[in-house]
Amino acid sequence: MIKKGTVIYPGTFDPITLGHIDIIKRGLKLFDSLIVAVAGSSTKETLFTLDERVEMIRDAVGEQEHMFIENFDGLLVDHVKKKNINAVLRGLRAVSDFEYEFQMALINRKVNEKVETIFMMTDERYSYISSRFIKEISKLGGNVDFFVPANVAQRLREKHIS
């Protein structure tokens, strides 16, 4: 398989799910290196702090050759330009994801014409998983072990007990 360059996989990862991990592992097979870029500033209200999200990703994925985890603030296109990278990886679960992601990819390209977005369908086993739903299930005392790595499930339980 021919690999080429570095790709950035951005997100809030609040929390990271098995679907996110699927995209990371498969992205590493396609690119020379992959940067998991955790958004610090976002319009989304996060349950976990930026440091907690980065730590959960490290614990869940472990040390992977050619994978780097970092955080960023501001516009993704500015971060991509700063890193001198032109490829962004986005995971898709359903048609509804595509509509949003397609619009975002076009906006990103308009702001920085060098930015290309690569869409990857998540494995069907994870196509219904959403961080938002996982947080809701956990908050209501439900079991999230099927949707997230063990370290994340534990952190969710701790957040919702206190």
> Which residues are catalytically annotated?
20, 44, 93, 131
**Structure token digits, residue 126:** 């994870």
Q: Give the Cα separation of 133 and 83 in Å (integer).
A: 32
Contact between 11 and 23 under an 8 Å Cβ cutoff? The reply is no
Angle at 8 (CA atoms; ends 7, 13), nearest 5 degrees: 145
In sequence order, the 6+-apart residues with CB closer than 8 A to the CB of 132 are none
**Lookup: tokens for 111:** 């702001």
